[in-house]
Amino acid sequence: MAASNPTTAARPQRPVLQHTLSSNSFILDHQQYKPAVPINQTISNVLDQPNDAALASLSLNNYNPVSPDPDRVTETGVTHSIFGHHDNPLPHDTPQLVATIFYKSSNPIHPHLHPDSSRNVRSGDKLPSPMVPVGSAPTVDMEKIPREPPAPEPEPLDHLYGPFVSQLCLTNFLQIIESLPTPYQRMNTSHRCLDKHDQPRVVEVTFSPPPNPDYLTFTDLRKHESIWRFEREWNVEVVLQKESVFRRHKRLVVFDMDSTLIQNEVIDEIARFIGVEKQVSEITERAMNGEIDFSESLRERVSLLNGVPADVFEKLKSVLTISPGARELCKSLKSLGCKLAVLSGGFQPLAEWLAGELGIDYARANHLEVDPVTQTLTGKLVPTYPIIDAEQKRSILKSLAAEHNIPISQTVAVGDGANDLLMLHAAGLGVAWRAKSMVQLKAPTRLNGESLLDVLYLMGMTKGDINELTSDSTDGLA
C-alpha cells in the first residue's frame, strides 16, 4: 500500500527558522499552510512515472506561487513580503519598531488542562479552578475580580508546535502586525533569532513603517488586545520598542532591590525575626499592588520594628538570595560602561551591601533611626533623609542622568512594585520584572523570565554577545 502512494514520501518536512535565514521571503517557507496550486495530472500519470520523476512532479517548489524578487536589496537580515514581485521601496530613514518575542520556557502550557481529557487523570481529581493570566487583570484571584469572569482563554498552541518560538508562531505574529494599521499599509519586516537558530526562545522582529499614530498610537499598540491574545495563545511575551541607536546603547540602568535584584522582601525578613511577619506582609502586599500610599505603608511597617537590635541587617545578609542573572547582568552592563544604581524602598545598610556585591555605583534607600543607647531600632525613619517612594525614585533617575549628561532615552529602569511605575515610565526602557499583576498592566513593558539577563536581549544583544560579556576575559573592562 505504501509503495503505491508516492505522495507520502514526497511531503516536505516542516521548515525551521534556521532555513529561513537564507531565504529572501519568510512567507516562502510557509506555502504548506496555504492552499496548494492544483496539479494538472491524474494519479495514474504519477504512478506511471519513475519514482524520481514522481517526486519531482509533486515537489512544492515546482508550483510555489511566490518567487524570489531579484530587484529587492536588503541591508541586513531577511525581508519578508507577501507581495511577490511588487517592489515596496521605503525611504532610508523610515521609522522602525522592534518586537522582542520571548517564549515563557519556565511555564510551558500543558495540553490537557481538563481531567476528563487528560491521560494522567486519577480517581478523585477535580476540575481545575478558573485562572486569570498574570498581567491581564489587576489580580489573579478570581474571587477578587469585581466583574464578570474574563472570556475563555484561547487554546494553547505551544504544546502542538513546540516549546519555543515556532515558525507558525512567528508567521501568526507577522499577520497580526500587518492587520493592525488603519488605513492599511504595506510593511517590511525581518527577524533575528537571538539565542539560537534551532528552536529559539528569543526572536527579534523588526517592522516598518509603524502604524499611523493618528489611528493607533505606540502606547495603544503595546497594549493591543490582539497582541495580548497572541501572547496567551502561544505562551510568549512581546516587548515593543521604537528602533534607534539609543535602544541598543544604554548608559544608565537603575534597579529596584526587593523582589528584583534580590528575591526577598527585606522588611518581611526583619519581621520574621520578631514574629510580626503576617502583619508586615499584608501591608507590603497592599503597598506593592498600589492599594495604599507607599510612604504611609512604610511608616506603618517600620513602627512594628521598634526594639529590634540594630545589627539585624548583618544577620540578614546570610538569608538574602540574589536573583538569577543579577550578577551576570550587572557585570555585563559595567563592561559596556553603564552607570548602575539601586533605588530601594527598603533600607540603606542592605542596599549598600548589595551594591558592593554587584558592583553597583549608587545605592539609595530608606534610613532607619537607631537608639544610640540601646542600639535598637526606634520604629521611626531618620527625618533628614527623604523617603524613597515612587516620586523620589523617578527624581533620582533623572538627576543621575543629568549628572552624567545621559539622555533619558539611554536609561533603563527595572522594578516590580507599584512604587516603581513612575520611574519605569520615565526611563527610556522601563521593565516590570516578574511584577505584581496590577503593575504588569500599567508598566510600559513586562518580563516574567527566569533570568534577569533577558534584559540584555531587549538591547538587541545575542546569546553570543551575552556570553562574551559575562566571560572572565571581560573582568578587566569593568
Q: Is the dihedral of CA 263, 268, 273, 277 positive or negative?
A: negative
Distance CA 468, CA 331 (A): 11
Distance CA 477, CA 472 (A): 10
258 is catalytic: yes
Write down the catalytic residue from 29, 158, 195, 258: 258
Distance CA 475, CA 470 (A): 9
227 near 211, Cβ under 8 Å? no
CA 34-36-41 angle, 5° bins: 175
Helix axes 294-303, 266-274, angle to 10 degrees: 20
CA distances from 70 to 24, 25, 73, 352 (A): 9, 11, 8, 59
Task: Reduce the DSSP state of residue 204 to 3 states and report it.
Answer: strand
362 near 342, Cβ under 8 Å? yes
Q: Are β-strands 236-242 and 97-103 bridged in parallel, bridged antiparallel, or unpaired?
A: antiparallel
Distance CA 451, CA 10 (A): 43
- The torsion angle over the Cα atoms of residues 314, 296, 252 and 434, rounded to 10 degrees, is 80
Write down the catalytic residue from 158, 195, 256, 416: 256
Assess whether the previous peptide bond of 133 is cis (omega < 30° from 0).
Answer: no
195 is catalytic: no
Name the phi and psi angles at 150, rounded to 5: -65, 160
Residue with cell 545578609: 317
Distance CA 203, CA 31 (A): 21
Neighbours of 440 (CB within 10 A): 23
- Catalytic residue numbers read 256, 258
